[in-house]
Amino acid sequence: MEEGKKLSLAHCQKILNENGGKYTEDQVRMIRDVLYNLAELDYLILKQGLSPEISALSEGFKPGSDKAA
DSSP letters along 17-61, please? HTTS----HHHHHHHHHHHHHHHHHHHHHHHHT--HHHHHHHHTB
| pLDDT tens figures, 9-58 | 999 999 999 999 899 999 999 999 999 999 999 888 887 876 566 666 66
Question: What does the pLDDT read at residue 63?
Answer: 56
Question: What does the pLDDT read at residue 32?
Answer: 95
The pTM of this model reads 0.63
Question: What does the pLDDT read at residue 53?
Answer: 65
Local confidence band at 68 (pLDDT 50, 70, 90 cut-offs): very low
Q: 36: Cβ–Cβ under 8 A, 6 or more apart, which residues?
A: 1, 6
Task: Please choose, from the candidates 15, 13, 18, the residue with its C-alpha nearest in 3D space to the C-alpha of residue 30.
Answer: 13
